[in-house]
Amino acid sequence: MRMKDLVGGPMPIAKEIAEMIEKSSWIRKMFDEGAMMKARLGDEAVCDFTLGNPFQEPSHRVINRLRELVLDDASGTHKYMQNAGFPWVREKIAEHLRIETDQSFTPNHLIMTVGAGGGLNVILRAICDPDDDVIITAPYFAEYIFYTANHRARAIVVETDEHFQLIPEKIKEAIGPKTRAVLLNSPNNPSGAVYPEEALAQLGEILREKSSEHNRPIFLIMDEPYRKLLYDGVKVPWVFGYYDQSMVVTSHSKDLNLPGERIGYVAVNPKDQHAEALINAMVLTNRILGFVNAPALFQRLVAELQAEECDMSIYKKNRDILVNGLSDIGYNVISPKGGFYLFPKSPDSDDEKFTEALKEKNILVVPGKGFGRAGYFRVAFCLSTDVCERALLGFREVYKGCGISQKS
């Protein structure tokens, strides 16, 4: 892209946005090359593990409910409603959360949002003063960097351990007088880590101490769109019992396979003494950021589907094929406990170089540096099983080419 225009004067794009485009141009280049590769060789010939776009369709129950809603001729269903969303939809979700969490949720603790991405922007706009700190953990979902920048906050990155688990002491050290929130993603994209109860309990203890020390509440924001995508009998603990100043943001992109429809919600801990003020602020920010309200039809759809379970059979199959296959080759890979991503160590310490080598074998993955942890790579396995099987040969050849001795 030309950063100067032809007639003179700088480009009329905000500098910060132009820099973001510039910095992420390698991701764009990667996607463009992937698209060209598919155009040249055919979709079938390319193993594209780059996108977190679930390949599964919404279940019959979801589609049937959508049909019922659209065939039902009730008036007023496509109109504006309260910015927080339909009260009856929020009551349905509150009911679900009361059962799930044993906390006293009401519709007044909930705001329906344009997915979790919308929800996170609504939260950050509501709570962040300029130059406030938001602590995130690496590897992180790359969008967090942009979301905090949108609202003039600084993302403070704290490392996790070699199993991608929280190191509470490191988070404690990172907290200062400007810290407004800690933002965690569990199950984590890209690592698949799920944070257990003990970690949340420890973190709650630290945040209470630090909130008191700095005389300002520090929020714990849990981003949980993969909450129902779990393996090996693992459960994702709810944060509400461990820390009062907490919220959960989620979407139905992955658990109901509706990513394009943009529907999710934010749930504020009923025990948070600031709950009312927070929700009032988010009602305003949902409106003024231009979301106005979450799409009406999809609010109505998800209201009745809160208890819906995910079909994990294919994801589990894919995970096992890849984890076992890559481990056999010699890759250092931790089996994810949730979500549909692997985050193995790159056999070449230069993860971009490694990614380029994989591309030569028609395999597309994302370098770890895009998630704040260089030397790794992300494999999104929300695709058909034969792609996972087919890719193992290429993973083997590139591994060999990196000159590292194999396990077997």
d(CA 104, CA 235): 21
Pairing assessment for the beta strands 264-268 and 246-251 based on DSSP bridges: antiparallel
Q: How far is the CB of 51 from a second copy (least distance, A)?
A: 8
Of the ranges 125-133, 228-236, 338-346, 362-370, which one interacts with a second copy (CB under 8 A)?
Answer: 125-133
d(CA 72, CA 102): 34
Q: How far is the CB of 288 from a second copy (least distance, A)?
A: 4
Q: How far is the CB of 20 from a second copy (least distance, A)?
A: 6
Q: How far is the CB of 61 from a second copy (least distance, A)?
A: 14
Closest CB to a second copy among 21 and 45? 21
Of the ranges 56-64, 167-175, 359-367, 389-397, which one interacts with a second copy (CB under 8 A)?
Answer: 56-64
Binding residues among 321-360 for a second copy as defined by CB under 8 A: none
Closest CB to a second copy among 101 and 257? 257
Closest CB to a second copy among 234 and 292? 292
- How far CA 275 is from CA of 8, 89, 111, 148, 246, in Å, comes to 51, 19, 12, 21, 10
**Phi-psi region at 362: left, alpha or beta (left = phi > 0; alpha = psi -120 to 50):** left
String of DSSP letters for 59-111: PHHHHHHHHHHHHS--TTTTS---TT--HHHHHHHHHHHHHHH-S---GGGEE
Q: Does 50 bind a second copy (CB under 8 A)?
A: no
Two tokens, residue 289: 């950021």
Q: How far is the CB of 266 from a second copy (least distance, A)?
A: 12
Q: How far is the CB of 249 from a second copy (least distance, A)?
A: 10
Binding residues among 4-33 for a second copy as defined by CB under 8 A: 5-18, 20-21, 24
Give the one residue of 219, 240, 340, 341 binding a second copy; rule: CB under 8 A. Answer: 219
Of the ranges 277-285, 308-316, 353-361, 391-399, which one interacts with a second copy (CB under 8 A)?
Answer: 277-285
d(CA 147, CA 119): 10
Binding residues among 167-186 for a second copy as defined by CB under 8 A: 180
Q: Does 276 bind a second copy (CB under 8 A)?
A: yes
Binding residues among 240-269 for a second copy as defined by CB under 8 A: 245, 253, 257-262
Size of the site for a second copy (CB under 8 A): 92
Give Cβ neighbours of residue 312 (< 8 Å, ≥ 6 apart).
229, 230, 231
Picking from 386, 343, 393, the residue whose alpha carbon sits closest to that of residue 368 is 343
Closest CB to a second copy among 82 and 332? 82
Q: How far is the CB of 34 from a second copy (least distance, A)?
A: 14
Of the ranges 272-280, 336-344, 363-371, 392-400, which one interacts with a second copy (CB under 8 A)?
Answer: 272-280
Closest CB to a second copy among 126 and 206? 126
Give the one residue of 155, 157, 289, 402 binding a second copy; rule: CB under 8 A. Answer: 289
Are 59 and 311 spatial neighbours (Cβ–Cβ below 8 Å)?
A: yes
| CA dihedral (56, 60, 63, 65) positive or negative | negative
Q: Does 278 bind a second copy (CB under 8 A)?
A: yes
Q: How far is the CB of 306 from a second copy (least distance, A)?
A: 18
Q: Does 146 bind a second copy (CB under 8 A)?
A: yes
Picking from 187, 199, 233, the residue whose alpha carbon sits closest to that of residue 336 is 187
Q: Does 119 bind a second copy (CB under 8 A)?
A: yes
Give the one residue of 186, 293, 318, 355 binding a second copy; rule: CB under 8 A. Answer: 293
Pairing assessment for the beta strands 133-138 and 154-159 based on DSSP bridges: parallel
SS (H, E, C) 245-312: CEEEEEECCCCCCCHHHCCEEEEECCCCCCHHHHHHHHHHHHHHCCCCCCCHHHHHHHHCCCCCCCCC
Give Cβ neighbours of residue 197 (< 8 Å, ≥ 6 apart).
237, 242
What backbone phi and psi angles, to 5 degrees, belong to 94? -60, -40
Q: Does 114 bind a second copy (CB under 8 A)?
A: yes
Q: Does 59 bind a second copy (CB under 8 A)?
A: no
Q: Does 120 bind a second copy (CB under 8 A)?
A: yes
Closest CB to a second copy among 54 and 367? 54
